[in-house]
């Protein structure tokens, strides 16, 4: 069984790699034919750019840490965290390439933080709309609820992937294949994938998007097949458990207002073999009567696990489950959606189970002068699962954000969030401080283009 599983992995990887190489060669041939056409005299066909990002954010947090963490839950947590990126880009008629190097770390951190490659990819494309891309890619689809770079996170999110597709005449179709390995070996620590940047062993995704001509309507369909490593490493029990996600996203956007909605369903099995039966739905409406002010309102519903108890100490989830009903928004930009404090789908509950989430919100923004934006939003949050002796309300959250662009490449942003939690919030997060939570931050983002040339 173990050998068959490994052969399956290798066959899938080699098959997709061979198809991608064939597509790259085909596109390269078409692109060369295009490039060999008579060109204008002295036409500059090569473009090289170099950009730098300096992003520094200071945060002050109060409350939200659990009693079991051992942290002083009634004390502030103050820190400054920074990200520096060097982004190199190259383009010509049929080829594009990008390298994005980044360093991240907390000021004063032992070891001076970490250095890694956020993106590194090459892409070939033809005049017919076909393309193929390979490397480390920051994927972004639709509103980024399911797949997004999560740029608020200092490390951000990218995937080692092969991506190919077609874009043209209002149609966009993408196919993505990812295969993760700990090391280039077949011995212990190689084939069994764990503790990587992303949790999956294999991931295949198909995305199709259509923009309706002469009408402000667009729609997308997304399908994901995710293989999670299961069993015990280097034994006959080593295998993959597969889960699927299928859904759609629709956006209607006339000139001064818009409505967007989505629905996704999860199926298959999680790492321990439990069946998955979960879903989510969302709707969001925006209105901008003038560029200087606007409004937003929406509602999110994410299904939750039922029949679990919440004892005063120990793990949540002591009741035996026959299914996973808590929806997991997998690899999205979570900070955009479920409240600025990131208590949901960034931090987890005890035992790995989720009681789900209802998020009703409303807010607006105003732009009193050029470059200055002031926004505010209110959330009322609750769980979706039925938990014994618990009310479904989690609490009220208010967010305020001020952003000022004082130079073309320099933006200063400040935010403050307050949450008043309920007894349900206190019991689920295991800290009395969850009744009054505060979080403030100040961020400077500088993104100059330092070099640009054509030849």
pLDDT tens track for 368-419: 999 999 999 999 999 998 887 788 999 999 999 999 999 999 999 999 999 9
Fold category of 2-37+46-454 in CATH: Porin (2.40.160)
- pTM here is 0.87
Q: What pLDDT is stored for residue 295 in this prediction?
A: 98
Judged against a pLDDT cut of 90, whether residue 148 lies above it is answered with yes
- CA-CA distance, 151 to 434, in Å (whole number)? 26
Q: What pLDDT is stored for residue 2 in this prediction?
A: 46
For residues 128-159, one letter each, b for 16 or more C-beta atoms within 10 angstroms of the residue's C-beta and e for the rest, the string is eebbbbbbbbbbebbbbbbbbbbbeebebbbb
Task: Give the mean pLDDT of the chain.
Answer: 86
Higher pLDDT, 323 or 55: 55
- What is the per-residue DSSP string for 96-143? EEEEEEEEEEETT-TT--EEEEEEEEEEEE-TTSEEEEEEEE----TT
Q: What pLDDT is stored for residue 177 in this prediction?
A: 98
Judged against a pLDDT cut of 70, whether residue 265 lies above it is answered with yes
Q: What pLDDT is stored for residue 395 in this prediction?
A: 92
Q: Would you say 128 and 30 are in contact if contact means Cβ atoms under 8 Å apart?
A: yes
Q: What pLDDT is stored for residue 72 in this prediction?
A: 52
Q: What pLDDT is stored for residue 4 in this prediction?
A: 44
Question: 138 in the Ramachandran plot: left (φ > 0), alpha (ψ -120 to 50) or beta?
Answer: beta
Q: What pLDDT is stored for residue 3 in this prediction?
A: 44
Q: What pLDDT is stored for residue 186 in this prediction?
A: 62
Q: What pLDDT is stored for residue 9 in this prediction?
A: 45
Domain locations along the chain: 2-37+46-454
What would the two tokens of residue 133 be?
């891309």
Judged against a pLDDT cut of 80, whether residue 430 lies above it is answered with no
pLDDT tens track for 327-374: 999 999 999 999 988 888 876 665 567 889 999 999 999 999 999 999
Query: Mean pLDDT, to the nearest integer, of 67-90?
Result: 78
Q: What pLDDT is stored for residue 92 in this prediction?
A: 94
Q: Would you say 433 and 64 are in contact if contact means Cβ atoms under 8 Å apart?
A: yes
Q: Would you say 57 and 80 are in contact if contact means Cβ atoms under 8 Å apart?
A: yes
E-strand stretches of 152-238: 159-168, 171-179, 202-211, 217-230
Q: What pLDDT is stored for residue 28 in this prediction?
A: 53
Q: Would you say 354 and 305 are in contact if contact means Cβ atoms under 8 Å apart?
A: yes
Residue 29's pLDDT band (boundaries 50, 70, 90)? low
pLDDT tens track for 216-258: 999 999 999 999 988 887 777 788 999 999 999 999 999 899 9
């Amino acid at each position: 069984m173990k050998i068959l599983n490994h052969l399956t992995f290798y066959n899938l990887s080699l098959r997709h790699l061979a198809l991608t190489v064939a597509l790259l060669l085909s596109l390269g041939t078409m692109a060369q034919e295009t490039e060999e056409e008579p060109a204008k005299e002295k036409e500059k066909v090569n473009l090289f750019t170099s950009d730098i990002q300096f992003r520094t954010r200071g945060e002050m947090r109060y409350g939200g840490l659990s009693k079991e963490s051992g942290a002083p839950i009634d004390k502030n947590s103050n820190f400054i965290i920074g990200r520096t990126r060097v982004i190199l880009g190259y383009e010509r008629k049929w080829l594009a390439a990008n390298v994005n190097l980044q360093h991240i770390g907390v000021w004063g951190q032992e070891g001076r933080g970490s250095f890694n490659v956020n993106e590194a990819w090459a892409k070939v494309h033809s005049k017919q709309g076909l393309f193929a891309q390979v490397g480390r890619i920051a994927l972004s689809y639709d509103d980024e609820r399911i797949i997004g770079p999560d740029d608020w996170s200092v490390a951000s999110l990218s995937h080692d992937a092969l991506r190919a597709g077609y874009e043209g005449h209002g149609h966009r179709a993408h196919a993505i294949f990812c295969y993760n390995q700990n090391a280039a070996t077949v011995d212990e620590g190689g084939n069994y994938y764990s503790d990587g940047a992303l949790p999956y062993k294999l991931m295949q995704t198909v995305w199709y998007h259509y923009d309706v001509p002469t009408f402000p309507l667009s729609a997308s369909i997304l399908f994901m097949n995710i293989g999670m490593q299961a069993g015990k490493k280097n034994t006959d029990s080593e295998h993959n458990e597969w889960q699927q996600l299928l859904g759609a996203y629709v956006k209607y956007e006339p000139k001064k207002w818009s409505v967007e909605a989505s629905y996704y369903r999860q199926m298959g099995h999680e790492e321990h073999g439990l069946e998955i039966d979960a879903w989510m739905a969302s709707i969001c409406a925006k209105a901008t009567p003038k560029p200087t002010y606007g409004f937003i309102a929406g509602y999110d519903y994410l299904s939750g696990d039922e029949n679990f108890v919440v004892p005063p100490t120990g793990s949540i989830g002591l009741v035996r489950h026959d299914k996973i009903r808590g929806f997991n928004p997998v690899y999205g930009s979570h900070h955009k959606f479920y409240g600025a404090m990131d208590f949901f789908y960034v931090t987890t509950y005890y035992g790995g189970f989720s009681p789900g989430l209802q998020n009703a919100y409303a807010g607006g923004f105003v732009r009193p002068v050029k470059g200055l934006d002031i926004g505010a939003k209110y959330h009322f949050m609750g769980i979706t699962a039925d938990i014994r002796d618990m009310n479904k309300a989690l609490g009220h959250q208010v967010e305020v954000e001020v952003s000022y662009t004082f130079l073309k490449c320099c933006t200063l942003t400040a935010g403050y969030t307050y949450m008043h939690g309920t007894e349900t919030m206190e019991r689920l997060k295991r800290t009395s401080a969850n009744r009054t939570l505060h979080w403030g931050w100040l961020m400077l983002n500088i993104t100059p283009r330092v070099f640009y040339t054509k030849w």
